[in-house]
Amino acid sequence: MSTPVRDAVTGELAALRGADRRFGAEEMHRSLALARLLCLSYGEGELSLARWRQVRALEAERTARVAEAQAGRSSGAGPAPSRSGSATPSAGVTDVSEQGGGRRP
């Protein structure tokens, strides 16, 4: 990680920690691990500022979905539907055990 990127990441993580005391070591680790995996998925060996911004955007989307899901649960609305519109994530998925253990002849 280059010095300017390291300084930006460090500053942003410190600001997040200052704004929300719940943002601790686990969340910092999650963000850095996601940054590493995202870089690797794009074939990049080093974190860039643009990729860090992408990580922060993904984390913002994730935390918004978690907050929305928790708000839905506290209001008794039940589970949120999946992207396919089904309330159960495994709808339409056949259990491997029903197919003879997953082995093919």
Spatial neighbors of 45 by CB under 8 A, at least 6 apart, are 39
Confirm if 50 and 4 have CB atoms less than 8 A apart: no
- Write down the number of H helices and E strands in the chain: 3, 0
pLDDT (tens digit per residue) in 13-50? 888 888 888 888 888 898 899 999 999 999 999 999 99
Distance CA 6, CA 4 (A): 5
Q: pTM for this one?
A: 0.61
Query: What average pLDDT does the segment 77-85 reach?
Result: 55
Cβ atoms < 10 Å from Cβ of 59: 16
- Residue 99: is its pLDDT beyond 70? no
